[in-house]
């Protein structure tokens, strides 16, 4: 009970006051391992170049793979996580049979397995990631699926190449998010799904620095109105909004945040 009462206060102190090295030490003492994400700081000036390349570190790819291994096993045992349910429901809502899906920011390609497992019908899938290490892991884990190394802001695909362009938990890490949304629409023939996007309603879109799997990366928390306007400007009509895995950074941003998955129909 004592820990439950004071954990929000301790969480705020750890995030706001203590140096990153001390944060890691505390997590190891009280949780035995370092969390996936920690060390959040608001960026009010220019973004350091190293923040744009953190996800390309091969060590990050290995750590992410290890983190998702037990989560995927839980799904196989009939206990899928909220974000897995959200992405499957998003694809289901398009009402397409055996759709051709390109996932941007695919990591090691776990969503190919998630969709096959939860939809119970086939999908044709290509995974793309900015990290060659992620793509290599995908080929190792799912040898029958094609993986491509590429940039979300300049996709190496033709106009209307796929039925569904799935932006898989990657928009939050893209400084060039306007270009990424434009490119998603260009490549999608029928639908775009922006999966697990962190949003808030009052504060402007805000850049953060954080550590993901121990590497410095950039993260964006979007003002939802701005995000919806960008989608509309690019010929995308939001048909459905789904809640995804909880993600509250109110102790950093002073406002409640959450993750949403947007199912957008191509209208022009």
92-133 pLDDT tens trace: 999 999 999 999 999 999 999 999 999 989 999 999 999 999
Q: 131-170: per-residue pLDDT in tens?
A: 999 999 999 999 999 999 999 999 999 999 999 999 999 9
Q: Give the residue extent of every domain in the chain.
A: 1-35, 38-266
Helix (H, G, I), strand (E, B) or coil at 258: strand
DSSP letters spanning 35-55: -SEEEEEE--SPPPGGGGTGG
pLDDT tens digits, residue range 225-236? 999 999 999 999
**CA 127 – CA 103 distance, rounded (Å):** 5
CATH superfamily of 38-266: Vaccinia Virus protein VP39 (3.40.50.150)
Say how many C-beta atoms besides its own lie within 10 A of residue 89's C-beta.
Answer: 15
Strands (E), 106-151: 124-129, 147-149
The residue count for the chain = 268
- CB of 163 closer than 8 Å to CB of 100: yes
Does pTM top 0.75 for this prediction?
yes
Q: Cα angle vertex 228, ends 167, 194, to 5°?
A: 15
On whether the CB atoms of residues 196 and 263 are closer than 8 A, the answer is: no
Strand partners, 210: 217
């Amino acid at each position: 009970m004592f820990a439950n009462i004071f954990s929000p206060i301790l969480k705020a102190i750890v995030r706001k006051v203590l140096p990153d090295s001390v944060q890691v030490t505390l997590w190891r003492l009280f949780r035995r391992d370092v969390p996936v994400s920690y060390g959040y700081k608001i960026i009010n000036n220019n973004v350091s170049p190293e923040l744009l390349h953190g996800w390309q570190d091969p060590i990050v790819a290995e750590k992410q793979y290890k983190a998702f291994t037990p989560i995927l096993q839980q799904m196989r045992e009939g206990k899928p996580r909220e974000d897995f349910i959200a992405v499957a429901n998003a694809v289901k809502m398009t009402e397409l049979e055996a759709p051709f899906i390109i996932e941007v920011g695919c990591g090691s390609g776990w969503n190919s397995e998630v969709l096959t497992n939860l939809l119970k019908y086939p999908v044709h899938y290509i995974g793309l990631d900015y990290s060659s290490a992620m793509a290599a892991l995908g080929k190792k884990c799912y040898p029958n699926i094609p993986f491509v190394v590429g940039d979300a802001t300049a996709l190496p695909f033709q106009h209307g190449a796929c039925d569904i362009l799935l932006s898989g938990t990657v928009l939050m890490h893209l400084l060039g998010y306007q270009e990424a949304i434009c490119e998603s629409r260009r490549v999608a023939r029928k639908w775009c799904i922006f999966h697990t996007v962190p949003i808030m309603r009052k504060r402007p879109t805000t850049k953060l620095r954080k550590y993901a799997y121990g590497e410095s990366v950039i993260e964006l928390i979007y003002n939802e109105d701005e995000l919806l306007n960008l989608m509309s400007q690019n010929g995308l009509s939001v048909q459905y909004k789904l809640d995804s895995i909880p993600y509250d950074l109110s102790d950093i941003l002073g406002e409640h945040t959450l993750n949403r998955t947007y199912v957008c129909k191509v209208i022009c």
